[in-house]
Chain A
Amino acid sequence: MPPKSSAGKEKDLGDEDEVLQAVILADSFNKRFRPLTVGKPRCLLPICNATLLDWTFESLALAGVQEIFVICRSFADQVKAAIRDSKWSKPSSGLKIVPIVTAKETFSPGDAMRDIYTHGIITSDFVLVTGDLVSNVRIDEVVREHKARRRANKDTIMTMVVKESGARHRTRSRGDSAVFVLDSQTSECLHYEPVTGYPPTTLARIPREILAEHPEVELRYDLIDCSIDVCSVEVPSLFQDNFDYADLRRDFVYGVLTSDLLMKNIYCYVLKEGYAARVADARSYDAVSKDILSRWTFPLVPDNNHPGGHAYEHLRGNKYIAKDNSVVLSRTCKIGPNTLIGAHTSIGPEANVQASVLGERCTVGAGAVLRNAYVFDGTHIGAGAVVESAIVGAGARIGDGARVEHGSLVGDGVVLGPRAHLTKFTKVSRRREKKQADGADADDDEDSELDEVEASQDARALAPVIGEGSNAIVWPARYPQDEDEEEDDVESYNNQRLMRIGDSASDLELSDPGSVTESESDSDSESDASSLRLSRTSSQTSAPTPSAASLHTLQQSASLAEFDAEAAASLERAFAEGHAVDDAAVELKTLRMAANVPLRRVREAVVGALVERVHVVEGAAAQRKQIADIVARWGTLINRIGGVDPVETVEILQYHCARSTRLPLFGQLLAALYQADLVEEDDIRAWHAKPEAKGEQLKPGPLKEGVQKCWTVGRMMIAQFDEQESDSEEESEEGSEDED
């Protein structure tokens, strides 16, 4: 039962009287935050002293979402407990939160979506977000827009929320971004090209058809993907149908947009106001923290609407100090701007805290320096210690005089000895006291990794790093075994470097196209230029996407042969049993999906079958009538197979005729197609002008002769067109048909 009208926005969604549902993917399906996430899920990491999940809930509550499904995998018990104990599960919050635990075998957002499908929980359009979202966006407006679009066009399946930011914004991930191709008028997303920071992506391939079909196209490389999607009910089932979709963007969006079978549309909603970003890695953790502290997320700021329910006082220079007078600041300590200090924290004399976040119950010793540091609850920073651009987990103890240099991540409960020195980008976590023999509650895969790390520790060599009396283990900077594994580009080591906190990655050669935009003041000219360049590159590639096809090169030849046979049989059956054109088209699409063949192949099969269907009979009029019958009955099928390309159709017809005994019928067939409006005059001219049409590249032989004969027929036809035009504009097209 939906809760009583509460979140206020229900009225606006009004007449439809539907509960707005949201799905949170609480698991991140990657390990970018390790070792902070060794003992807890990422969505329970605190940012500005409230867990990411709380920020996400608040973002959704703000938008008037009433029912939330939280999909959790690792540490599901902790997530469930956190939800149970939070203020959100109280009836007065107006939210209904249902945690759903997926199987351990869920390794990607795609798997999670398939799980959602099997659960059958989604009843209407829903909002899909990740469990690490910080946003003050009015999602309800996006939902309304999505629904309006959907009423107009049933094939609109998704609206992605993106935020304009400029190419080099701190909150914009450099390692995992994308080029969006949008229709300027409708903001339909026409193409999505994922971009990795390293190896640098220099080319974006944009299918030719997009530029042909849309008069005005925007290429955007300045958008932050907020990973807020308004999805239709079909989306989980599409994941179910395409079991190889793993990532929401790189696989699903890319796949849907490049597929000429699905015919689904995806739109973008470019945020004009409001803030939305996800905490995907340590670098964005840093950026989002800063955005919160400098109030970009207003009214979702610590002193106003803190999701964790804490109260902070906002002081000059965006300093936030817990309100309950429990913070002890020494008289001589210095608190810099953009700092948040949790309740019961005490800061010693001469300590210097700049642009940092301190959790609750922390103690900072005398003379310690925290700069750009994120310190979770209950941590002790020893006297004279220096922590810079680092994240320190809950309950950690940093010894006196220790140094934690930038980019380091210190796990929960780690003890670093006095004068320990963590060099740049070191990751340390706590050594487990006793190995659990059964490992029942821990993730097997994670366990083995931990074991490996533990085994590799050399106590003596590490002593100066972690200090005396430490319980820490140092994680290797990179995992050698990973290089053998088939690894995602995005997760590769060098690309990951772009996601580390405090890493400028200046030694990596990045040809970030963002730097190009900077030098060019006029963004219009930039997009024009790149579209030209991009269109040239795409014209060299064949229309179907090369990357998708290349995956299956091995199976290709086998499946091609199979496809031909199947398609012929299917069409034969359709002709014989008199199926509807639509049914036949669906059957062909299914076949094509199963065999993964290019569209041209399907067209060849259809055209071939049509030509063979024509019986050679005596008498020109009888012959013409027969052809006209067949084309009228089945001709539209050529355009129903998932793409319209009349020039190609003519070319295929030509080659098929040249090969078969029905060569003399070519002229009549072409005329019939023309009359049925399947090919236009311009298409015939375009075909005629192509070198392939003349058969120039062919070796001399019967095929070439046939092709040339057809070409001659075509020339005659064009001559007729010309004649007709000069004769009179008025003359009907039937006239030309009769003269033929």
Chain B
Amino acid sequence: MAPELQTAGHRAVEVLAGKLRRRQVVGSREAALETVLVLRQVVSRARFSNINQLVGIIRDVGRRLSEAQPKEHTVGNIVRKVLHNIREEYNTATRGTAAAAAPVRNVYSISKFVLQGQPRKQHVAPRSEATASLKENDPNDPDSFARGIKPVLMEAIQDVLDELETVYDNVSKNAKDHIHSDEIILTIGHSKTVEAFLKAAAHNRNFTVIVAETGPSYSGHEMARALSAAGISTFLVPDSSIYAIMSRVNKVLLGAHAILANGGMFAICGSLLAATAARTHSTPVVVCAGQFKLTPLWNLYHDYGALDFADPSSVLGFEEGDLVDKVDVVNPYYDYVGPELVDVFITNDGDHPPSSVYRLIKESYDDEDHEF
């Protein structure tokens, strides 16, 4: 059982939960960043005497945050990632004392192959200073375990934070391999990742970008402005002409809100239109996204094929008076784009086809954390 959260950490969690609920924190990266900061605060103040208590505390926070806003999937992803890293650090740190448990985890059997997955990448070198004195459930000094392991845990969380902060750079570092000179790229919406990607490619290549307006939010306008400011030749077209110009387009570049385990994704409304049009013309669809968007879920909203519904005011003005009573407006914010429409995900850790997303998810998160 998780012990009562300390007040300060508790408050930070509640504040973030409130902001998520009220949509004061929006966007997958921002939500992810806020979550890491809160988790760091929680872990640094947490009192625990064995690893299970700590995991319990973090899961508790994760549950609260993801319940507050189930549509920001990155919140849950970050919590899973932190849990994964913490366990890893713990295993490394306690290999000496908990030697009995470790071999069990590394034994392979065909029957449990899918469940266990590949051996985890042990990219973290054991941090020697912690290994010596770790002892769980010390009755004389219940805090000694926490004291011993906290420095490594903080480093593990810092790794997650660093990954988030460098995500744009890492996604776009291979941009010039994907975009070739004189290509025509179509994009939609204003994804920061896509923007960084295109700007990085513009250092080496000379190409043209067509930006769809992306109604009703018209975030495409901002994108076009940002790109042309960077000296990229940019066209802004209405959404309705996406299909018509698709035959001239060499590549469709999309951002993602969340990447699902089946290789599909949620992306800004209009992406489905672009992806379907691209499929018809056999134009490759390339998605740029950080790995923190990998979500161990399937499409949750079969009913709509969309995730979130915003208010109708951007479609039908409130001042329309009489009409408001007679018209039902559906204003979806995200589209679900199925795996068959996506050719490749360019992430901060390599390029992957939709079919191997499940693999990445298995490597990034622990199975027991899929539900908090």
Contact = CB atoms under 8 A, between A and B. Distances in A.
Contact of B14 (A92, A164, A170): A92
B11 A62 contact: no
A298 B321 contact: no
Nearest to B327: A294
Nearest to A273: B313
Contact of B321 (A62, A169, A297): A169
B143 to A, nearest CB: 25
A337 B324 CA distance: 15
A166 interface: yes
Interface stretch (B17-25, B100-108, B124-132, B245-253): B17-25
A115 interface: no
A164 B24 contact: no
Contacts of A92: 10-11, 14-15
A295 B312 contact: yes
Interface string A266-280: 000000010100000
B312 A94 contact: no
A296 B328 contact: no
Interface in B117-164: none
B19 A8 contact: yes
B320 interface: yes
Contacts of B321: 165-169, 172, 222
Contact of B15 (A8, A304, A317, A337): A8
Contact of A275 (B24, B303, B318, B325): B318
B14 A296 contact: no
Interface residues of A, number: 40
B222 interface: no
A6 B24 CA distance: 12
A4 interface: yes
B324 A170 contact: yes
A296 B312 contact: yes
Contact of B22 (A62, A163, A314): A62
B21 A305 contact: yes
A734 to B, nearest CB: 58
Interface residues of B, number: 31
Contacts of A273: 313
B167 to A, nearest CB: 24
Contacts of B22: 61-62, 299, 305
Contact of B18 (A61, A166, A337): A61
Nearest to A167: B321
B322 interface: yes
Contacts of A7: 18
Interface string A1-30: 000101110000000000000000000000
B298 interface: no
B303 A169 contact: no
B328 A94 contact: no
- Chain A CB within 10 Å — which of B10, B69, B310, B319 has the most? B319
Given A6-B15, A295-B309, A296-B313, A169 B324 contact: yes
Nearest to A271: B318
Interface in A530-567: none
Interface string B1-29: 00000000011001100110111100000
B304 interface: yes
A296 to B, nearest CB: 5
A316 interface: yes
Contacts of B14: 92-94
Contacts of A518: 322
A698 B330 CA distance: 72
B319 A94 contact: no
A311 B328 CA distance: 23
Contacts of B69: 304
A716 interface: no
A168 B322 contact: yes
A164 B312 CA distance: 15
Contacts of B349: none
Contacts of B322: 166, 168-169, 518
A298 B318 CA distance: 13
B206 to A, nearest CB: 40
A527 to B, nearest CB: 15
Contact of B311 (A8, A275, A311): A275
- Chain B CB within 10 Å — which of A4, A94, A295, A338 has the most? A295
Contacts of A170: 324-325
Contacts of B312: 294-296
Contacts of A315: 303
B328 A295 contact: no
Nearest to A304: B21
Nearest to A337: B328
A318 interface: yes
A319 B322 CA distance: 22
A93 B13 CA distance: 11
Contacts of B98: none
A168 B23 CA distance: 31
Nearest to B318: A165
Interface string B324-348: 1100111100000000000000000
A4 B11 CA distance: 9
Nearest to B304: A316
Contact of B309 (A4, A62, A297, A314): A314
Interface in A297-344: 297-299, 304-305, 311, 314-318, 337-338
A296 B11 contact: no
A736 B19 CA distance: 72
A222 B15 contact: no
Contacts of A290: 325
Contact of A163 (B15, B23, B309, B318): B318
A134 B254 CA distance: 37
A222 B329 CA distance: 22
A572 B350 CA distance: 93
A316 B306 CA distance: 10
A299 B318 contact: no
Contacts of B324: 169-170, 296
- Chain B CB within 10 Å — which of A163, A169, A315 has the most? A169
A299 B310 CA distance: 7
Given A294-B312, A295-B311, A296-B312, A166 B320 contact: yes
Nearest to A223: B319
B11 A298 contact: no
Contact of B310 (A222, A298, A337): A298
B18 A299 contact: no
Contacts of A337: 328
B311 A296 contact: yes
A361 B320 CA distance: 37
A338 B312 CA distance: 14
Contacts of B311: 275, 295-298
Contacts of A275: 311, 313, 318
A463 to B, nearest CB: 38
Contacts of A338: 328
B23 A299 contact: yes
B150 to A, nearest CB: 24
Contact of B318 (A91, A167, A169): A169
A168 B324 CA distance: 10
Contacts of A304: 21, 23, 69, 71
Nearest to A293: B328
Interface string A60-82: 01100000000000000000000
Given A295-B312, A299-B21, 10 more contacts: A8-B19, A92-B10, A92-B11, A164-B319, A166-B320, A168-B322, A169-B321, A172-B321, A222-B319, A317-B328
27 contacts: A4-B11, A7-B18, A93-B14, A94-B18, A165-B319, A166-B319, A166-B321, A167-B321, A168-B321, A168-B322, A169-B324, A222-B319, A273-B313, A290-B325, A294-B312, A295-B309, A295-B331, A296-B312, A299-B21, A299-B22, A299-B23, A315-B303, A318-B328, A318-B330, A337-B328, A338-B328, A518-B322
Interface of A: 4, 6-8, 61-62, 91-94, 163-170, 172, 222, 273, 275, 290, 294-299, 304-305, 311, 314-318, 337-338, 518
Closest 3 pairs between A and B when the two form their complex, measured CB to CB: A166-B321, A298-B311, A92-B14
